[in-house]
Amino acid sequence: MTTAIDMNEVPLWTPSAKAVAASNMGAFADFVNERHGLSLAGYDALHAWSVASPDLFWDAIWDFTGVIGEKGQRVLVDAGKMPGAAFFPDARLNFAENLLREEGGEIALLFNNEGEMAAPVTRDALRRDVARFAAILKSWGVGEGDRVAAFMPNCPETIVAMLAAASIGAVFSSCSPDFGVKGVLDRFGQIEPKVLVACDGYRYAGKVLPAHDKLGEIVAGLPSLEHVAIVPFIGEGKKELAKAEDWPTLLASAPEASLSFARLPFSHPLYIMYSSGTTGIPKCIVHSAGGTLLQHLKEHRLHCDIRPGETLFYFTTCGWMMWNWLVSGLAAGATLALYDGSPFAPDERVLFDYIDAAGINVFGTSAKFIDAVKKSGLKPRATHDLSSMRMILSTGSPLVPESFDFVYRDIKTHVALCSISGGTDIVSCFVLGSPMLPVWRGEIQAKGLGMAVEVWDEEGKPLAAGQGEASKGELVCTRPFPSMPAGFWNDPDGAKYRSAYFERFPGAWCHGDYAEITSHGGIVIHGRSDATLNPGGVRIGTAEIYAQVEQLPEIQEALAIGQNWQGDVRVVLFVVMREGAALDAAMEKRIRDKIRAGASPRHVPAKIVAVTDIPRTKSGKITELAVRDIVHGRDVKNREALANPEALALYRDLPELAS
């Protein structure tokens, strides 16, 4: 007699003992043990020490990763204040100096625009161009704290502009060129940049999209601008744009200057980033140079196990924090594989072609991309080599268990699949992968080192792990970490900053994710807390519904909201049907049966409505809150934050929701 095996109790992938010992994280554990006379064994022990002794941990991260700069005597001041703690208050460093630490003819940047590969950029060439543009910025009077904004694709010139700004202590901020004029002005208008670096257009899904008309309005709407540098991405150049000069001409005429770096305080502002802005004007989140650098070095070197010479890829635009995360890979000695355009142009093979052509070792993408590849019918394991790829990263939304299955079945069997989660708010991750741990189906592997992550109930009490429904609650972080924002722009007393993260549970960071910690110590994100459904007073994560309904081949995508109805809340599910499929009574029954069996009867929607499109942010995240507002007759305050605002009209005054 044989016994059925519960696949959820068998890891999908487990690192060998040899690989664990040879990992950067294993080397870091040895470093810590030797330095402090400890005997930490395994990830759990290392993590527990990292949050119990944050001063010793972050000091060890600085030294182990070889941060360039003067560390100073103090590591952590006012450790009990959140917010208010200060990391390395005596330190002096420069972010760009740490990213440009490598010299020589090795490749620093690769660039692919919908299958068209550009000439590689060497480390020496990158340093040369950064020096040239830094000299230009100085000649324009740009100094410490001035803002340099970019309206750019994910291409080498954007990285040059950022590093040049950082090298002289200026503050960098970026939007991708698919943003509309209002969306750009809502962001850059708040920070008053002195310089704008912009493209003359971009390419997406095989189309060339000129940007001059938008740029004219943007430049006119930013009276603070003194200079505009136009990168001829589609070959048109500056044309008659006011205050504009062509990028190639600028670099060619730049005064000869050696690369130099202004060493500034650890807390000196590096980036200004933006909340999604779907509920109002975007918040301007200021991130420090030191906090960003230290957190990214930890995540790249330890959690992703990146070695010098490896190739790192993340599918992102310059309007998403994963661009900022990707660029920091230079500090770990990685070659960056950049990509701009549609991930399905010319077809669904393009990113897998890139893995093989560029020898990508760490491949980052979104959960939605993995699901879309699965539904396209492509089986990359059969069509591509993929031998270089040792790790797949996924973020943007929860990666459902069935997508884990697809990766190991149809992409690659021997690969570390690391779902990660954090956000623009911390320009990094709270929970992510670990080369020391197995991969369990549907779970994020671990809490990040130095991140005191817990899951709390409504009263602020920690929930026990591995108790199913009883383990679901608010994801919080109970101790300070370096990449907490330096603050919000134009928030002099910090009131907006404290309100955003510390009002719910004073003294702890409340991130706004509905999560649970599993019996394996892994984490499952069940969706955003503000999008959590509450029928009959029971909290339900929307990701739990999507995980079931999107398994059905007829369903392309889904979105769930709670509709106020007769003194309660009822679950409404919107579905985009695949071509040739229809939402009839039989299909509705299949959807409800699937949700009931795979989740619970409480998750079953009261109403199912077919729509042709789902509104999403510029970074590709579906926007439950915007749909909920439309369904309830409320205006969406900032449509410019959406990639497809026209989709909102599909949800207004639906007769199906009137009864």
pLDDT digits 0-9 by tens, 188-208: 999 999 999 999 999 999 999
- The pLDDT, as a whole number, for residue 597 is 86
Q: What would the mean pLDDT of 16-22 be, rounded to a whole number?
A: 97
Q: Is the dihedral of CA 211, 213, 215, 221 positive or negative?
A: negative
Q: What would the mean pLDDT of 212-237 be, rounded to a whole number?
A: 96
Q: Residues 159-178: pLDDT tens digits?
A: 999 999 999 999 999 999 99
- The pLDDT, as a whole number, for residue 1 is 35
Give the chain's mean pLDDT.
Answer: 94
Contact (CB, 8 A) for 60 and 35:
yes
Stretch among 294-298, 342-346, 406-410, 542-546 having the lowest mean pLDDT: 542-546
What angle in degrees, to the nearest 10, is found between the helix axes of 54-65 and 289-297?
80
537: pLDDT strictly greater than 80: no
Question: Cis omega (within 30 of 0) on the bond before 346?
Answer: yes
User: Domain residues of the chain, as ranges?
Assistant: 93-445+480-508, 532-657
361: pLDDT strictly greater than 90: yes
- Rounded to whole angstroms, the Cα distance separating 23 from 19 reads 6
Reported confidence tier of residue 4, pLDDT bands at 50, 70, 90 = very low
Reported confidence tier of residue 2, pLDDT bands at 50, 70, 90 = very low
Q: How far is CA 198 from CA 114, 210, 217, 234, in A?
A: 20, 12, 13, 12
3-state secondary structure (DSSP) of residue 74: coil
- Rounded to whole angstroms, the Cα distance separating 368 from 610 reads 19
- The pLDDT, as a whole number, for residue 391 is 98
Q: Do 93-445+480-508 and 532-657 show the same overall fold?
A: no
- Rounded to whole angstroms, the Cα distance separating 323 from 252 reads 27
Q: What would the mean pLDDT of 269-285 be, rounded to a whole number?
A: 85
In degrees and rounded to multiples of 5, residue 462 shows phi and psi of -60, 140
Reported confidence tier of residue 625, pLDDT bands at 50, 70, 90 = confident
- Rounded to whole angstroms, the Cα distance separating 428 from 426 reads 5
655: pLDDT strictly greater than 50: yes
Bridge partner residues of 562 (DSSP):
571
- The pLDDT, as a whole number, for residue 8 is 62
Whole-model pTM: value is 0.89
386 or 536: which leads in pLDDT: 386
Fold entry, domain 93-445+480-508: Rossmann fold (3.40.50)
- The pLDDT, as a whole number, for residue 528 is 83
Q: Residues 72-82: pLDDT tens digits?
A: 999 999 999 99
- The pLDDT, as a whole number, for residue 278 is 57
- Rounded to whole angstroms, the Cα distance separating 226 from 441 reads 53
Which alpha helices (DSSP H) does 140-168 contain, by range?
Answer: 156-167
- The pLDDT, as a whole number, for residue 279 is 58
Three-class DSSP labels, 516-585: EECCCCCEEEEEEHHHCECHHHCCECHHHHHHHHCCCCCEEEEEEEEEEECCEEEEEEEEEECCCCCCCH
602 or 148: which leads in pLDDT: 148
Stretch among 93-107, 345-359, 586-600 having the lowest mean pLDDT: 586-600
Where residue 7 falls (left for φ over 0; alpha for ψ -120 to 50; beta otherwise) is: alpha
3-state secondary structure (DSSP) of residue 402: helix
Q: What would the mean pLDDT of 323-348 be, rounded to a whole number?
A: 97
- Rounded to whole angstroms, the Cα distance separating 28 from 15 reads 17
Residue 497 CB coordination number (10 Å): 19
The owner of tokens 């070095």 is 297
212: pLDDT strictly greater than 90: yes
Reported confidence tier of residue 601, pLDDT bands at 50, 70, 90 = confident
201 or 526: which leads in pLDDT: 201
Domain 532-657 annotated CATH 3.30.300.30: yes
- The pLDDT, as a whole number, for residue 276 is 74
Question: Cis omega (within 30 of 0) on the bond before 83?
Answer: yes
- The pLDDT, as a whole number, for residue 619 is 76
What is the CA angle 535-654-568, rounded to 5?
20
Could you tell me the maximum CA-CA distance found in the chain, to the nearest angstrom?
A: 81
Contact (CB, 8 A) for 437 and 449:
no
The percentage of residues in the chain with a pLDDT greater than 90, rounded to a whole number, is 84
Reported confidence tier of residue 280, pLDDT bands at 50, 70, 90 = low
Reported confidence tier of residue 547, pLDDT bands at 50, 70, 90 = confident
First to last CA, the chain: 53
- Strands ordered across the beta sheet of 523-528: 453-456, 473-477, 509-517, 523-528
